[in-house]
Structure 1
Amino acid sequence: MVALMIASLSGLPVSAVYFLNLGPAQRDNLLRHIWIAAEHLVSVLAESRDFCIVVLTLDVPEDLWCGYQLMLTTLMDYVVDCDDALRACLPTPGSGDKNILEAVFGAIDHCSLELQLPVSLESSGENGKPPRSIGPYEHLCTHMCRFLAALSPEHFGIAEAILFKNVLHESHWRACLASDTLCFVARFGSPQLCFEHAKLLARLVNLTSSAPGNRHSHAKSLLRRLFQFLTEEHKTELHQMFSSNSVVTSIVGLPESASTARAQAEQLLMKLSAKTIGASELKILVRLLCQMKESSRYKEHCLPMEPLLQALSSVPAYRSQLCCGLTHAIIDLLTAQ
């Protein structure tokens, strides 16, 4: 009963979009007090192993899934500092017990509507900055990343397996949350961990290439994102490992020597300045410039400023994603010099 009450209280900030009869100030004050009460209850009860088990095995009513999701994110903040509660929330795989991360991913499928509502939650400020309002998805993703960052190596492997399982899920929201969390791990974890994840994803991309549904596209998208976080040495090693795999190389590209890439980029920049470049060549130019921008050896093989400036003034005026990417890449290369 207590868990259901907390779930009900936790969900009110999101369902407040329907409080049409209350003014903004009244609604904000009411919800702030409700939110404080719900979070305080969770903080007091989180150390109880029994409470954690009750929450994870709760039979959630259909109209309380969003509140249940928010209660789980709050619970993650507190159980990570309590060993007994954490063991209850992250049991050994195969034990048959419920897992808090699986509960979060399972609940997100029931909250797809709420995640798209024009509502906001108040986040705590950092480094002396005042609190700011964030959307329900950002709130969930932030708490998930915080939980992963605080996990010990003993529990990280369990979480890692759940994240990759959900990357390959058909659900857009599950795959999106798992991918964003793994990108956080790639950015703030060790370079070797990022490399191991990229290798695993490359194999998953190959295995799912003929699979129906969205699993292959989810894995491809994450591999493309993680590749940007790899060191130059790891990028080269990944290229060598999958050089004969056309599925993987179509995502991460083929390695090119710095001098070859520079010569090809110069030729395409001249075509852009003369307005004789084709759409496919434009895509190649953007890829080359982005690779040069991210290369630690760019200063040794930097492009002359004059063709870059001429090309910048020749970028088509219409706002396409490709033209915006080209403009940003040229500006980044100019500022790097």
Structure 2
Amino acid sequence: MTPLPPRTLLWTSVAVAVVTILLKGTAWYLTGSVGLLSDALESFVNLAGAVFALMMVTVAQRPADGGHPFGHHKAEYFSSGFEGILVLGAALAILWASVHRLFAPAPISQLGWGLALSVASSALNGLLAWLMLRSARAYRSAALEGDARHLLTDVWTSAGVVVGILGVLATGWLWLDPVVAILVALNIAREGGRLVWRASQGLMDEALEPPERAAIDGALAAFARQQPGVRFDHVATRRAGQRRHVALHLHVPGDWSLSEAARLRAAVERALVDAVPGLRATIELLPTGMEAVATPMAEYGPGSGSGHGPAQGRNIPQNPQDREDPRT
């Protein structure tokens, strides 16, 4: 089955959030359980997060323009950060209500209906989260992944609430309900902090994942072995929403013609895109005997380790007379 597009799933997430708010709100009204109240409050956060994620995905899909020549793809990270802040706010509200109930316990009623409604809403969230994670991997959508992982947290939260209610039913200890709600709030706060952290890393041009970087390394190392006198350095990668970028220097023998160098550059770019679909490559051509001013991040080819792969983080000796004057 082909994964559904992010916008379709986020619209579905909005609808499911409304349904779960009604189900969990009704469950709390019938039972008076503060655990179910915490569950219902988190569903409001789900709704707000899904709406904002939908807005940011819409912005991220806009084409590049004069003011944003590299596109709007980083907009997705704002949804993760915004949702994380909402989650932290919900955690504080749940903690306040739970501590109050802990010191002023109240009986829970109509447990059967409460549990049934909570389980039904959790099943909806679990199914949607699975579909969203599947699509997030296919489309590399940070906003979709963030919303899906929040929904999964909601599923585990609901499971904890059900355990608390069953504990009250089995033991008659009313304090179990608010204690479980406090644990739920702490779990929600942890997820909120995690979402904010992931968003901050995305906004700061985080490098590609190790499997993607390994694919790039392999493609470059193959060219370095096959083409005498050719090497690569200054390899840097970054993520921007659904986009993946790599920038590097391609060194060719100084006696090559511009046409020869350009053909090799085009072949390298095709190989990189084949290795990491959707990759955007920026390749600067330089003669073999010339080094750039910046400190290289990785080098491939003769003199780089064993000659069979990348030498990560090696500093390439530079002669000042070999450098290009940046003023020319």
TM-score normalised by structure 1 residue count: 0.23
Query: Greater strand share, 1 or 2?
Result: 2
TM-score normalised by structure 2 residue count: 0.23
**Rg (Cα) greater in structure:** 2
Larger RCO of the pair (alpha carbons < 8 Å, separation 6+)? 2
